[in-house]
Amino acid sequence: MNEQPKSDRPTTRRTFLRNGARIAAMTGLGALAGVVANRSTAEGWVWQIDPQKCLRCGNCATKCVLEQSAVKCVHAFAMCGYCNLCTGYFEPEPNALTTAAENQLCPTGAIQRSFIEDPYYEYKIDEQLCIGCAKCVEGCSRFGNGSLFLQIRHDRCVHCNECAIARTCPGDAFRRVPASQPYLLKTTHAH
Amino acid sequence: MKREFQLASRRKFFSQTAGAMAILGAIALQRGQAAEKAATNPFAYDVSHLQKTDPKLITYEETARWKAPHAEAKRIAIGPEDTLYLCSGNYLTARNRSGDRGLEIALAEPSRCCAVEKDGTIYLGLRDHIEVFDAKGQRKATWDSPGKKSWITGMATTENEVYAADAGNRVILRYDKSGKLVRRIGEKDKERNIPGFIIPSPFFDVEVSRDGLLRVNNPGRHRMELYTADGDFEGSWGSASMGIKGFCGCCNPINLALLPDGRFVTCEKGLPRVKVYRTDGQFESVVAGVESFVANGKACGPSDCTAGGLDAAVDAQGRIYILDLVTGDVRVMKHRA
């Protein structure tokens, strides 16, 4: 069998540019096909925060494309200790354990404290006021049992293809979850 | 050898330039994202100032340190001749004054707490019942469990009684020496003005002072309470605060010990620290501050706030032994001259 001798002729500029343009066009088409395929499979999937990975960095309050973040603090009442000294509600060194503004940790006063029975108090999140800054989450997580945590509220989220918060999340806590199960809730108590 | 300067071909020049730009672009993108991720948090929950103790407040110094002989160290207690008894894993281990390891009792389940008589009789708290051993480690009795939810975390003895702090049932159990349950102390009772114990996590302790009154921590109320042996509530002291004079977090103090003159030694988790309070409850000084227990401070988190914690015991000379439940270190602390 005769082998064809390899051409020693150097590639011309025209051939180089033509080949380059072909490769670029193929790459573009491939990327487009990938995006289309991804969109069709991503339908029915939404962004959510894994509370176990959340580092309470504050990005959720500032990086969302919405003026007021779609991320809100939620409260797992089944886990809550209903503490008198709630470290998610009070400043680290409050003047007194009262609802006075200077004692509250939340920058927008979004946590409502109400007396249940001695010495238990209930803490509810006012989502209209909550900006998702995670300050309360950090207080609760560090000194309490972590019953306060962040979640993307899907009645607010505009479902960006690339979530602006996820892009900067230092804990890589954002992930896609099925739209049929859109929340990653804390349900069990550690003890 | 002299190298001659050569002009690169146009193709080579373009490919090298494109390659360099791609690398620079990738680095810039990565650095930009890293900077974005590491941006300062305007909503930071800052307690860094609480993690350093004013040196003027620290009145004890460490004179020795050793490791618990087994993992999962829970409690320590002082016995006769200042022998230290350590509950760790499925063992109870004794260590004499010079630090030599002595008696060791192997158990079928984790040891939780203990109290030791002058004659060396050991009352050992397991999760839901008490076992009695003689000074040589021979099992003498196994007492009935006080209830399904029992979780015994602290013990104390007097001449005629044994007290057990049952965190599961939120009650102090008073037994006679034969194991007969004589009284339940501290259960919520409005008529007797007894507020009840709030125990969010399984840290509940009892000590008996020389005045015969029980000292019991009530962590959910951030205070120490005093009871008579008959269960009358005599008083309380303590306040909730992250500051050095108060008890921090959701539930502190977690454990306590008494100095020979009746002053209190308290242990906290979250901000792990050991402090001394006067008999009237006034803050006196710090034995060891948060900076002494770095690993411990990190252990107590949302996934398991039972992971951190400290315990303390006091010998006849007033030396304070601190057990770090995370590292298993036992520190011997002596009052500064």
pLDDT digits (tens, 9 = 90+) for A109-133: 999 999 999 889 999 999 999 999 9
Position B40 in a domain: no
Mean pLDDT computed over B300-314: 80
Q: Which of B26-30, B90-94, B138-142, B183-187 has the lowest mean pLDDT?
A: B26-30
A73 at the B interface (CB within 8 A)?
Answer: no
Residue pair A150/A125 in contact by the 8 Å Cβ criterion: no
* Cis amide prior to B55 (ω within 30 degrees): no
The secondary structure of residue B274, as a DSSP letter, is E
Q: What is the model's pLDDT at position A10?
A: 73
With 80 as the cut, is the pLDDT of residue A38 above it? no
Ordered by start, the domain boundaries in chain A are 45-178
Q: What is the model's pLDDT at position B27?
A: 72
* Minimal-distance CA residue of chain A relative to B9: A13
From CA A135, how far away is CA A132, in angstroms rounded?
8
pTM of the model: 0.80
Inter-chain residue contact A58 with B33, CB threshold 8 Å: no
Inter-chain residue contact A92 with B39, CB threshold 8 Å: no
Closest CA to B160 of B134, B206, B121: B121
From CA B94, how far away is CA B91, in angstroms rounded?
10
Positive or negative, the CA dihedral B288, B291, B296, B297 is positive
B278 by Cβ neighbours in 10 Å (0-12 / 13-18 / 19+) ranks as: middle
Sheet holding B122-125, edge to edge: B113-116, B122-125, B130-133, B139-142
Positive or negative, the CA dihedral B297, B251, B325, B149 is negative
Q: What is the model's pLDDT at position A190?
A: 44
- What total number of domains does chain B contain? 1
pLDDT band at B7 (very low <50, low <70, confident <90, very high): low
With 90 as the cut, is the pLDDT of residue A177 above it? yes
Inter-chain residue contact B306 with A190, CB threshold 8 Å: yes
Q: What is the model's pLDDT at position A4?
A: 52
Q: Which structural domain range is residue B271 located in?
A: 49-335
With 50 as the cut, is the pLDDT of residue B146 above it? yes
From CA B85, how far away is CA B94, in angstroms rounded?
4
For the question of an ipTM over 0.85, the answer is no
From CA B75, how far away is CA B255, in angstroms rounded?
9
From CA A169, how far away is CA A51, in angstroms rounded?
12
Reading the block at residue B56, the tokens are: 């003027």
Burial A148-158 (b: 16+ CB within 10 A, else e): bbbbbbeeebe
Q: What is the model's pLDDT at position B4?
A: 57
Tracing tokens 């001695």 back to the chain, one arrives at: A118
Q: Which of A28-37, A66-75, A176-185, B293-302 has the lowest mean pLDDT?
A: A28-37
With 50 as the cut, is the pLDDT of residue A40 above it? no
Average pLDDT, chain B: 91
CB nearest to B302's CB, from A83, A97, A141: A141
Position B6 in a domain: no
Position B69 in a domain: yes
Residue B233 phi/psi, 5-degree rounding, is -80, 120
Q: Which of A181-190, B2-11, B87-96 has the lowest mean pLDDT?
A: B2-11
Position B145 in a domain: yes
Inter-chain residue contact A57 with B41, CB threshold 8 Å: yes
B226 at the A interface (CB within 8 A)?
Answer: no
